[in-house]
Chain A
Amino acid sequence: SQKIEQNSEALNIQEGKTATLTCNYTNYSPAYLQWYRQDPGRGPVFLLLIRENEKEKRKERLKVTFDTTLKQSLFHITASQPADSATYLCALEEGGGNKLTFGTGTQLKVEL
Chain B
Amino acid sequence: GAVVSQHPSRVICKSGTSVKIECRSLDFQATTMFWYRQFPKKSLMLMATSNEGSKATYEQGVEKDKFLINHASLTLSTLTVTSAHPEDSSFYICSAALAGGVTDTQYFGPGTRLTVL
Q: Which residues of A contact B (CB under 8 A)?
A: 9, 31-32, 34, 36, 41-46, 49, 89, 93, 97-105
Complexed CA–CA distance, A104 and B39 (Å): 11
Q: What's the minimum C-beta distance from A78 to chain B, rounded to whole angstroms?
A: 23
Chain B nearest CB: distance from A22 CB in Å? 15
Q: Are B110 and A43 in contact (CB under 8 A)?
A: yes
Most B-side CB within 10 Å, residue of A32, A36, A102 = A102
Residues of chain B contacted by A101 (CB below 8 angstroms): 46
A98 touches B32 (CB 8 A): yes
- Whether A46 and B93, one on each chain, are in contact in the complex, defined by CB atoms closer than 8 angstroms, is no
Bound state CA distance, A31 and B108, in angstroms?
Answer: 20
For chain B, the count of residues having a C-beta within 8 Å of the partner chain is 25
B105 touches A44 (CB 8 A): no
Q: Name the residue in B43, B95, B110, B111 with the highest tally of chain A Cβ atoms < 10 Å from its Cβ.
A: B43
Residue-by-residue, is B76-117 near A (CB-CB < 8 Å gives 1, otherwise 0)? 000000000000000101010100000111111111010000
- Chain A residues in 8 Å Cβ range of B49: 97, 99
Alpha-carbon distance A99/B43, docked complex (angstroms): 15
Do A102 and B43 touch across chains, with their CB atoms under 8 A apart? yes
Measured CB to CB, the nearest residue on chain B to A105 is B43
Q: Which of B46, B104, B110 contacts A42 (CB 8 A)?
A: B110
**Chain B: minimal CB distance from A57 (Å):** 13
Q: Once the chains bind, are A93 and B104 in contact (CB under 8 Å)?
A: yes
Return the chain A residue nearest B32 by Cβ.
Answer: A98
B45 to nearest A CB, angstroms? 8
Asked if B44 contacts A46 (CB within 8 A), the reply is: no
